Amino acid sequence: MSSGLQRRRGHGGTTATTERGGTFENDDHRVAYDSRDVPSDNDEQAQSRLTLMEEVLLLGIKDEEGYLSFWNDSISYVLRGCIMIELALRGKIAMVNDPVRRRVPLEDRLVELVDSRMTGDVLLDETLRLMKQTEEHLSVATWINYLSGETWNITKISYQLKQVRERLSKGLVDKGILRTEKRNFFLFNMPTHPLADAAVKEEVRRRLVHLVTTNEPNLEPTSTCPAKMPYRYLRTIALVTSAYTGDVLENALTLMGYDARDKAFMRAQALLDDYSEYPFSTRHEAWATALAELVSYETDNLSDTANLSIEVFAAVLKVYTQVHDNPL
């Protein structure tokens, strides 16, 4: 199975391919290309409409008002964790393959860049450039802190990703999912981004709710979770745990009764506990066993590098477990 999502490829003309490359022929000109940059039906079918960061932000934004809760002080940090997860699931980053690392806590293990090709997403690509220019290997927790600006190291202040929520919102506007309006806040006009395409948000919400409420976690294919998308179940686990840690999970559960919401929160905590270890742990409950089998199916027979990328996924969730213990 592929170790990560493939980015959308630019469309080209007629090709004459080799195993890894070939040439475009246009009149008398021949232009070399990499065959991996040529679009295929499989690429399109495996591409999610949204990144993990966009899904989490979308859950947090109020449909009509178009902004996040002013009291949410966790989501900015979590969005940086989502960036690390997205890069890991796309096979861009992995743990440094050092056997000694197993003596080190998961979140403190060192990460390396294994594929520096750009993705086409501005936040992911900005992070890739930062990693490429950084000579030393840094831990998962350190990267999330630097990207969030949570550091006393003045030489790393420039690593902070600026205006992440606003940039994600504008990206969702470009995709037609949000729209932009001006609202007056205390005499100042501020841009807000109300919901424009309720169907997409409902897709994301239903997928999340399905995983935290059912004992049969099989996912139906949607535009945000296509059937051929790699790591469909790990991505949905990441969605649940990121929403939970970022204090936007409750937004997806508003139609549920109090007891059902309470059980959903317990399920989210259980997912965070189980998948913040590597290898993943599994509790002896029907839903957990069924989900573990699905995760095993999509992670069995991976390459060594791909397994090291999944280890980064678990390390980010380990960082999540400490967010509410150490308020930001």
Rounded distance, CA 61 to CA 227, Å? 27
- pLDDT for 45 equals 54
In a domain, 186, yes or no: yes
In a domain, 240, yes or no: yes
Rounded distance, CA 230 to CA 295, Å? 11
Q: Which residue has the tokens 């699931």?
A: 89
Q: Dig out the tokens for 128 from the structure.
A: 């890739």
Residue 89 CB-half CA count within 13 A: 28
Query: Are residues 255 and 307 both part of a single domain?
Result: yes
Residue 241: its H or E element: helix 232-245
User: Of 78, 94, 98, 8, whose CA–CA distance to 44 is shortest?
Assistant: 8
- pLDDT for 30 equals 45
In a domain, 188, yes or no: yes
Burial class (CB in 10 A: 0-12, 13-18, 19+), 188: exposed
For the cut 90, the answer to whether the pLDDT of residue 308 exceeds it is yes
User: Of 159, 148, 199, 205, whose CA–CA distance to 175 is shortest?
Assistant: 199
Q: Dig out the tokens for 181 from the structure.
A: 């309006």
For the residues 26-33, what does the mean pLDDT come to? 44
Rounded distance, CA 81 to CA 143, Å? 9
For the cut 80, the answer to whether the pLDDT of residue 43 exceeds it is no
Rounded distance, CA 64 to CA 170, Å? 16
**In the structure, what pLDDT confidence band is assigned to residue 273 with cuts at 50, 70 and 90?**
very high
- pLDDT for 7 equals 35
For the residues 51-63, what does the mean pLDDT come to? 98
CA triplet 114, 229, 44: central angle to 5 degrees? Answer: 95
For the cut 70, the answer to whether the pLDDT of residue 3 exceeds it is no
Query: Residue 179: how many CB atoms within 10 A of its CB?
Result: 14
User: Of 110, 156, 150, whose CA–CA distance to 133 is shortest?
Assistant: 156
For the cut 90, the answer to whether the pLDDT of residue 8 exceeds it is no
DSSP E strands in 234-302: the ranges are none
- pLDDT for 120 equals 96
Number of domains in the chain: 2
Average pLDDT of the chain is 88
Strand order in the sheet with 138-139: 93-95, 110-113, 138-139
In a domain, 15, yes or no: yes
Query: Are residues 25 and 106 both part of a single domain?
Result: no
For the cut 50, the answer to whether the pLDDT of residue 262 exceeds it is yes
Which residues fall within 8 angstroms of residue 203, CB to CB, at 6 or more apart?
Answer: 222, 223, 224, 225
**Structural domain harbouring 107:** 48-320
**In the structure, what pLDDT confidence band is assigned to residue 24 with cuts at 50, 70 and 90?**
very low
CATH at 90: 1.10.3630.10
- 312 and 140 Cβ atoms separated by less than 8 Å: yes
For the cut 70, the answer to whether the pLDDT of residue 44 exceeds it is no
- 168 and 57 Cβ atoms separated by less than 8 Å: yes
Query: Are residues 136 and 214 both part of a single domain?
Result: yes
In a domain, 328, yes or no: no
Query: Are residues 5 and 81 both part of a single domain?
Result: no
* Residue length of the chain: 328
In a domain, 327, yes or no: no
Query: Are residues 78 and 36 both part of a single domain?
Result: no
Q: Dig out the tokens for 207 from the structure.
A: 């997928």
Q: How large is the C-alpha radius of gyration of the chain?
A: 20
In a domain, 71, yes or no: yes
Q: Is the CA virtual torsion 109, 115, 118, 121 positive or negative?
A: negative
- Residue 159: what residue type? Y
Q: Dig out the tokens for 299 from the structure.
A: 């992670």
Q: Dig out the tokens for 5 from the structure.
A: 């999502």
Rounded distance, CA 328 to CA 324, Å? 8
For the cut 60, the answer to whether the pLDDT of residue 213 exceeds it is yes
pTM over 0.75? The answer is yes
What is the tens place of the pLDDT at every residue in 318-327? 999 999 777 6
The long-range contacts involving 156-160, CB below 8 angstroms and separated by at least 24 positions, are 159/130
Query: Are residues 21 and 75 both part of a single domain?
Result: no
Rounded distance, CA 319 to CA 324, Å? 10
Query: Are residues 153 and 274 both part of a single domain?
Result: yes
For the cut 80, the answer to whether the pLDDT of residue 10 exceeds it is no
What is the tens place of the pLDDT at every residue in 136-192? 999 999 999 999 999 998 889 999 999 999 999 999 999 999 999 988 777 778 899
Query: Are residues 36 and 119 both part of a single domain?
Result: no
- 120 and 90 Cβ atoms separated by less than 8 Å: no
For the residues 120-140, what does the mean pLDDT come to? 97
Query: Are residues 25 and 121 both part of a single domain?
Result: no
In a domain, 141, yes or no: yes
For the cut 90, the answer to whether the pLDDT of residue 127 exceeds it is yes
